[in-house]
């Protein structure tokens, strides 16, 4: 059975002093190595011995030796302390330069719009960073999931997060393929959707999202029905392209097929505007260089400006 264990406050105090004295067999040489007075070294060792409950050194006017308890303590404490120092150095390196694993939680629809255009250039610019993209519609807890940051529509980001804008605000558009619209009356008013097959989105909380619109200054939520329910916008867009029905999707996602005529935009006077896509991360911790580098790289990529590793921002 696992027992509760807590490292006591100050449990590591004096360990470095002990190890230095054990190495040099001298309090004076240990004090010179650590840059403190011999008295400070002596006090640190005495306090450690008091906590351990045993004498660790045999002291005479001419020499310093280890007791049996000191030998046992040294055999366990030295490798453990060296591991702590190595762990500190490894963590410190990640705080100095862009390196390590960068984990991002993003919706599927964001990948082709924002990440694909910049991810290759980012990886080439920062070869010491490995990027992991977890594409999911779930609203994940960044800290619990071990993510450095997430990317979402602005309206879904908690107010205690730091948000960095990645896109300008954009409308949600209703689209349908020419094949689907052939022989059907095009919807001119929101109520006209009752006569159409509407492809719907299931939210991460399990509910089916209504279609939002604006009618003048009034917000309207239309309850629609249709043959398909999906968990992400790319699936809805793909079904609309196949002529299965109408879909309401972010305009950047539908821009290419609308431009080339594969889809037609409908009900545009009633389109609701989303605040845009943002990268977000917890605001109560230091931004590591790997995340800061990614934020700046995406910003520069949007303006088509060349970005150099380590460039000043």
What does the DSSP 8-state code read for residue 119? H
Q: Is residue 254 part of a domain?
A: yes
Question: In terms of domains, do 227 and 154 share one?
Answer: no
219 pLDDT exceeds 80? yes
If asked whether residues 38 and 180 sit together in one domain, one would say: no
- The pLDDT-based confidence of 306 (bands split at 50, 70, 90) is very low
Confidence class for position 90, pLDDT limits 50, 70, 90: low
The confidence band for 284, taking pLDDT boundaries of 50, 70 and 90, is low
104 and 63 within one domain:
no
Q: Given a cut of 80, is residue 151 above it in pLDDT?
A: yes
**Which tokens go with 154?**
């602005």
Residue 252's nearest CA partner among 219, 228, 276, 221 is: 276
59: confidence class by pLDDT, cuts 50, 70, 90: confident
Total number of domains constituting the chain = 3
Query: Is a pLDDT exceeding 90 seen at residue 186?
Result: yes
Name the percent of the chain lying above pLDDT 90.
Answer: 38
From 95, 127, 158, the end of a domain falls on 95
Centre a 10 Å sphere on the Cβ of residue 148 and count the other Cβ atoms it contains: 21
At which residue do the structure tokens 């916008």 appear? Answer: 233
Q: Is 2 inside any structural domain? A: no
Average pLDDT value for residue range 162-175: 91
User: In terms of domains, do 57 and 31 share one?
Assistant: yes
Contact 134, 274 (CB under 8 A): no
Domain span holding position 282:
100-168+276-302
**pLDDT value at residue 7:** 40
The string of pLDDT tens digits covering residues 262-274 is: 999 999 999 999 9
Whether residue 162 is found in the same domain as residue 46 = no
d(CA 13, CA 9): 9
Q: Is the pLDDT of residue 133 over 60?
A: yes
């Amino acid at each position: 059975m696992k027992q509760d264990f807590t490292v006591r406050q100050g449990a590591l105090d004096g360990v470095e002093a002990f190890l230095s004295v054990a190495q040099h067999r001298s309090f004076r040489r240990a004090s010179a190595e650590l840059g403190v007075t011999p008295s400070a070294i002596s006090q640190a060792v005495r306090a450690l011995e008091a906590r351990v409950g045993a004498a660790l050194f045999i002291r005479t006017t001419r020499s310093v030796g280890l007791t049996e308890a000191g030998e046992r303590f040294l055999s366990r404490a030295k490798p453990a302390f060296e591991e702590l120092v190595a762990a500190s150095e490894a963590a410190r390196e990640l705080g100095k330069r862009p390196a390590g694993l960068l984990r991002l939680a993003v919706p599927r629809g964001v990948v082709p719009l924002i990440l694909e255009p910049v991810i290759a250039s980012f990886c080439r610019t920062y070869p010491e960073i490995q990027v992991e993209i977890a594409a999911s519609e779930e609203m994940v807890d960044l800290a619990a999931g071990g993510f450095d940051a997430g990317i979402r529509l602005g309206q879904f980001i908690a107010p205690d997060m730091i948000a960095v804008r990645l896109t300008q605000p954009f409308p949600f558009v209703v689209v349908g393929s020419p094949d689907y619209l052939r022989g059907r009356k095009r919807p001119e008013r929101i109520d006209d959707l009752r006569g159409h097959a509407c492809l719907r989105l299931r939210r991460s909380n399990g509910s089916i999202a209504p279609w939002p619109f604006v009618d003048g200054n009034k917000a309207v939520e239309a309850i629609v029905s249709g043959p398909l329910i999906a968990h992400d916008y790319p699936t809805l867009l793909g079904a609309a392209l196949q002529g299965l029905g109408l879909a309401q999707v972010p305009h950047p996602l539908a821009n290419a097929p609308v431009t080339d005529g594969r889809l037609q935009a409908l009900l545009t006077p009633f389109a609701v505007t989303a605040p845009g896509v943002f990268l977000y991360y917890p605001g109560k911790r230091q931004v590591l260089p790997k995340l800061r580098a990614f934020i700046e790289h995406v910003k520069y990529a949007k303006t088509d400006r060349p970005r150099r590793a380590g460039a000043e921002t």
